[in-house]
Amino acid sequence: MGNRSEKLNCGARLAALCVALVAALTLAGCSHKLVASAGEHTVKVYPDQATYDKLAKLKSEGGPMGMIGGIGASLAAKQVDDQTPVRILSSNDHGSEIEVTDGPHKGLKGFVPKQNVN
């Protein structure tokens, strides 16, 4: 009987080791951070991609509409510190829907352009 209980004990240890390894790999693979643009110390997190697209279009028009787009971005977006850890909820060619996982804005969800997340 001792031999069978040793096999069961060994199997349980192996299963626990596998679970721990999978958890470690999962956590290591989810380490994304916000990356500020050159000369900046914060990243703008927009409520959603539609808001970002609308404000980016206004800013690109220049003149008074560009000023409105710049003011709108300041009002609509939250400023989050560079290198803040985030979880990517979804991505596309333009950017990512993220959730801040640590720091003063923990729990904040929003959209960031793809150049501002790694």
d(CA 109, CA 4): 51
Answer yes or no: do 14 and 37 share one domain. Answer: no
- Does pTM surpass 0.85? no
Identity at 40, one-letter amino acid code: E
Between the alpha carbon of residue 52 and those of residues 7, 99, 103, the distances in Å are 58, 16, 23
Answer yes or no: do 86 and 100 share one domain. Answer: yes
d(CA 75, CA 103): 21
Answer yes or no: do 52 and 99 share one domain. Answer: yes
Contact indicator for 25, 17 with CB cutoff of 8 Å? no
Task: Report pLDDT digits (tens) over 74-114.
Answer: 788 999 999 999 999 999 999 999 999 999 999 999 999 99
Q: What is the pLDDT of residue 97?
A: 98
Written as six digits, the tokens of 31 are: 């380490």
Give the chain's domain count: 2
